[in-house]
């Protein structure tokens, strides 16, 4: 469902956001600093359930892309869906770390792989799934 109640978001700022998600997942997987998953959870839940425009990192990245003339606006709905997935994955990563379980490695690897695909090619798998779902429902 397209979101017209929220201003469009900058797709290139979201590529920078994917870079942050990639870095957080890599830190989680390859260092003892598992607490960084809390950053992924908080940012994803804020952007996904409240508004991307309330998130400081999105504001920074949108400002940078705008300053360099790289702003490319798109509807916020699919990106907010992707953020909800990232927020839930980050929450799962953090909670399983607190509970001393290795299950958090599964969403961490998924974030690492899909964030890398997004930052390197611009293809957002969650956005694609979001649009495919609504096209399927409309048919």
Collapse the DSSP code of 74 into the 3-class scheme (helix H, G, I; strand E, B; otherwise coil) and give the result: strand
Instruction: Write out pLDDT tens, residues 4-46.
Output: 788 999 999 999 999 999 999 999 999 999 999 999 999 999 9
Structure tokens at 22: 């990639």
Quote the mean pLDDT of the chain. 94
pLDDT of residue 13: 96
Collapse the DSSP code of 73 into the 3-class scheme (helix H, G, I; strand E, B; otherwise coil) and give the result: strand
pLDDT of residue 1: 60
Burial of 71 (0-12, 13-18, 19+ CB in 10 A): middle
Mean pLDDT value across residues 63-72:
96
Of 115, 119, 120, 117, the closest CA to residue 15 belongs to: 119
d(CA 61, CA 63): 5
Q: Is the pLDDT of residue 138 over 90?
A: no
Strand-pairing partners, residue 73, are 10
Mean pLDDT value across residues 111-128:
95
Q: DSSP per residue over 75-122, as a string? A: -HHHHHHHHHHHHHHHHHHHHHHHTT-GGGHHHHHHHHHHHHHHHHH-
Q: Is the pLDDT of residue 66 over 80?
A: yes
Q: Name which of 35-49, 81-95, 120-134 the model is least confident about.
A: 120-134
Of 77, 89, 57, 87, the closest CA to residue 127 belongs to: 77
135 — pLDDT class (breaks 50, 70, 90): confident
For the chain, what percent of residues have pLDDT higher than 70?
99
pLDDT of residue 46: 97
Mean pLDDT value across residues 37-60:
97
């Amino acid at each position: 469902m397209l979101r017209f109640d929220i201003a469009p978001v900058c797709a290139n700022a979201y590529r920078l956001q994917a870079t942050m998600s990639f870095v957080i997942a890599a830190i989680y997987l390859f260092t003892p600093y598992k607490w960084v998953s809390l950053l992924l959870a908080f940012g994803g839940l804020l952007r996904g359930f409240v508004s991307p425009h309330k998130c400081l990192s999105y504001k920074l990245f949108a400002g940078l892309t705008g300053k360099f003339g790289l702003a490319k606006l798109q509807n916020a709905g699919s990106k907010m869906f992707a953020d909800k997935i990232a927020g839930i994955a980050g929450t799962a990563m953090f909670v399983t770390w607190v509970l001393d379980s290795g299950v958090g490695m599964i969403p961490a690897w998924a974030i690492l792989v899909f964030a890398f695909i997004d930052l390197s090619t611009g293809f957002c798998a969650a956005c694609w799934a979001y649009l495919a779902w609504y096209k399927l429902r409309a048919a």
